[in-house]
Amino acid sequence: MTALRFDPPTLPPGAEALREEVRRFLADERAKGTWSPRGDFGTHPDTAFSRLVGQQGWIGMTWPRQYGGHERSGLERYVVTEELLVSGAPITAHWIADRQSGPLILRVGTEAQKQRFLPAIARGEIFFCIGMSEPDSGSDLVSIRTKGTKVEGGWRITGRKVWTSNAHICDYAITLVRTGPQEPDRHSGLSQFILDLKAPGVEIRPIRNLAGHHDFNEMILDDVFLADDMLVGQPGDGWKQVTSELAFERSGPERFLSTYRLLAALVDRGGTAPDDRVAEATGRFVAHMWALRGMSLSIAGMLQAGETPNLEAACVKDLGNAFERAIPETARLVAPSAMPVAGANDPFETIQAEAVLNAPSITLRGGTREILRGIIARGLGLR
């Protein structure tokens, strides 16, 4: 049995000053009317706001300076990330590029790709999304059918991607494509490409979600030509590349803070002398959040030290997602009802409604709870 490890992290000196800097920035910009809190990290993109964040040096924070990065530690990035999330700032547009696409290019991309894409990502000028899922391939990702065929000077790609979040506002999609046979095993033969979403043959169609919002899309790829220099990493290494960054993708504060604003709204609604129901609920949520943050920070520290705590990350996501979903379920039962005020928007009710409607997505995106539990079980030696 593999014991799960959560080493104590050490925040670098200056982390708290950085935290204050982020808080000041958010307060100043909010006072100017640049932004207002809305949604969770996956909704409400605001490309202008993302550019502002880029100007602060808070995108690509850990990347080398020569590629527009700022060579700060992963724990400093953690501090910035959690402050942005808790405030409800609209960071969706640059989220994927900062967390996934940029690090992928940095790790396996060519020198030309690094120079071309990373500085622009870090400035908040270009945005990426992820084209992995397909109509017949969700959890079982290796079964994808979008096909890439080698041609003179590049590849021709044909297929259909679904649930591509924010493809309609992004410039590129890191797209997973089958380019070879499933040999020697079924994980072989997949490759990742940087797909220019304006390229001929790419069609993006909106898919409205149950809340009526347009966040994700369908992407039709009809014989799209991608030059050789749009392949990321080695042909056939796609699966290895996709799975090697899972600890980054599953352990961050976005995996347990999606409904933080509702918790804050519940505290607000409870007043300074809350009844026992509200006090018990908020106290219990704070205890859960405290432990989750401790786990997540610990993983950030281990990642910074060059380790790959994939199992621990799966724990954080599964527990964190359950926590995020419990908040609206409990809040609706314990929140004292407010007196209806004609014409006024009640902030608690608004956030609560949004959280209930968004809840189902939490335990699906980024790996379903069933898949995560399977990973942990394997770590326990059970498969």
Ligand X SMILES: Cc1cc2nc3c(=O)[nH]c(=O)nc-3n(C[C@H](O)[C@H](O)[C@H](O)COP(=O)(O)OP(=O)(O)OC[C@H]3O[C@@H](n4cnc5c(N)ncnc54)[C@H](O)[C@@H]3O)c2cc1C
Interface region with another protein, contact rule CB under 8 A, candidates 34-42, 153-161, 227-235, 259-267:
259-267
Q: Taking the complex as a whole, how short is the minimal distance between the CB of residue 49 and another protein, in angstroms?
A: 20
**Contact characters 83-102, another protein, x per CB under 8 A:** ---x----------------
- In the list ligand X, another protein, none, the entry touching 380 (Cβ below 5 to 8 angstroms by class) is another protein
Q: Taking the complex as a whole, how short is the minimal distance between the CB of residue 208 and ligand X, in angstroms?
A: 12
Q: Taking the complex as a whole, how short is the minimal distance between the CB of residue 295 and another protein, in angstroms?
A: 5
**Candidate list 142, 267, 326, 357; residue touching another protein; CB under 8 A:** 267
Question: Which parts of 195-234 interact with ligand X (CB under 6 A)?
Answer: 216
279 binds another protein, rule: CB under 8 A: yes
**Candidate list 278, 300, 335, 362; residue touching another protein; CB under 8 A:** 278
Q: Taking the complex as a whole, how short is the minimal distance between the CB of residue 19 and another protein, in angstroms?
A: 7
- In the list ligand X, another protein, none, the entry touching 376 (Cβ below 5 to 8 angstroms by class) is another protein
Residue 103 or 379 with smaller CB distance to another protein: 379
351 binds another protein, rule: CB under 8 A: no
CA angle 315, 321, 324 (to 5 degrees): 140
**Candidate list 138, 180, 201, 236; residue touching ligand X; CB under 6 A:** 138
Phi-psi category of residue 304: left, alpha or beta, with phi > 0 → left and psi -120 to 50 → alpha:
alpha
- In the list another protein, ligand X, none, the entry touching 214 (Cβ below 5 to 8 angstroms by class) is none
Give dist(CA 292, CA 270) in Å, integer. 24
163 binds ligand X, rule: CB under 6 A: yes
SS3 track for the chain: CCCCCCCCCCCCCCHHHHHHHHHHHHHHHHHCCCCCCCCCCCCCCCHHHHHHHHHCCCCCCCCCHHHCCCCCCHHHHHHHHHHHHHHCCCCHHHHHHHHHHHHHHHHHCCHHHHHHHHHHHHCCCCCEEEECCECCECCCHHHCCCEEEEECCEEEEEEEECCCCCCCCCCEEEEEEECCCCCCCCCCCEEEEEEECCCCCEEEEEEECCCCCEEEEEEEEEEEEEEHHHEECCCCEHHHHHHCCHHHHHCCHHHCCCCHHHHHHHHHHHCCCCCHHHHHHHHHHHHHHHHHHHHHHHHHHHHHCCCCCHHHHHHHHHHHHHHHHHHHHHHHHHCCCCCCCCCCCCHHHHHHHHHHHHHHHHCCCCCCHHHHHHHHHHHCCCC
Q: Taking the complex as a whole, how short is the minimal distance between the CB of residue 4 and another protein, in angstroms?
A: 5
364 binds ligand X, rule: CB under 6 A: yes
Residue 69 or 328 with smaller CB distance to ligand X: 328
* Token duo for residue 272: 């300074």
22 binds another protein, rule: CB under 8 A: no
115 binds ligand X, rule: CB under 6 A: no
- In the list another protein, ligand X, none, the entry touching 36 (Cβ below 5 to 8 angstroms by class) is none
CA angle 256, 138, 189 (to 5 degrees): 115
326 binds another protein, rule: CB under 8 A: no
Residues that bind ligand X (CB under 6 A): 42, 129-133, 138-139, 163-165, 216, 361, 364-365, 368, 370-371
Residues that bind another protein (CB under 8 A): 1, 4, 6, 8, 19, 82, 86, 260, 263-265, 267-268, 270-274, 276, 278-284, 286-295, 298, 312, 315, 318-319, 370, 372-374, 376-377, 379-383
